[in-house]
Amino acid sequence: MNDNQYIYQAMFLLDNGEVREQGFNAMRDWVKTTLEKHGATVKVLRLWGERPLAYPIAGRARATYLLGWIEGTDKTVSNAKQEMYLLGPVFRNMFLKEEEIPAEELGLGIEVIKDEDVKVLDDTPVVESLFEEEEEAESSETKAAPEGEAEKTKAAPEGEAEKAEGDAPKETGSKEGEAAKPAEAAAATPKTEEA
């Protein structure tokens, strides 16, 4: 890592629950102070939008997007990322190196909006539904598996039975012969007893 200063475009995904509880401005200030603490110069930091996520992230279905343009070193960015990963309302972030800050963005600066103006919709409980689906899938699998096994176990004796039946004439012949011998012996013994 070198100490060269770069311009970064940054996007932060804020947890809607925390934005609702503490207000958008508090969350924006937290991001700003975190970046500045690690030596970055925040040029622009504004609300990009509150929108649904294309896929659920840790049970969240929606997020508040914060767009920023900052100036800093590689180390600044990596340290800020590390802190945001461990603490605070930011659950995902991305920093991209850019050549310059667009004039339209520079005009916006650090946007101040009333907390009431930031409409944060309720998150649907994605985690519960996901777990329910998984549990249902698992239960259906476990139900299906014994049946399959049962079919196998049922099928196996039939096969064996068939085999036994197929082999039966040979075995029965010998067994009948063996069985006939004791019967003959039994029939002979009473005679001896009587005698």
Partner 1 sequence: MTEETPKAPAKFDFKDTETLLRYLDSQGKLYSAKRTGLSARQQRQLKRAVKYARTLALLPYAG
User: Which range binds partner 1 by CB under 8 A, 23-31, 72-80, 90-98, 172-180?
Assistant: 90-98
The contact mask relative to partner 1 for 50-89 (x = CB under 8 A, - = no) is ---xxx-x-----x-x-x----------------------
Instruction: Rank residues 54 and 86 by Cβ distance to partner 1 and give the closer one.
Output: 54
48 lies in the site for partner 1, by CB under 8 A: yes
Binding flag, residue 121, partner 1 (CB under 8 A): no
Q: Which of 92, 101, 111, 124 binds partner 1 (CB under 8 A)?
A: 92
Q: What is the DSSP string of the chain?
A: -----EEEEEEEEEPHHHHHHH-HHHHHHHHHHHHHHTT-EEEEEEEEEEEEEEEEETTEEEEEEEEEEEEE-HHHHHHHHHHHHHSSSEEEEEEEEES---HHHHHH-B----GGGS--PPPP-HHHHHHHHHHHHHHHHHHHHHHHHHHHHHHHHHHHHHHHHHHHHHHHHHHHHHHHHHHHHHHHHHHHHH-
Using CB under 8 A, list all residues that contact partner 1: 11, 13, 48, 53-55, 57, 63, 65, 67, 92, 94, 96
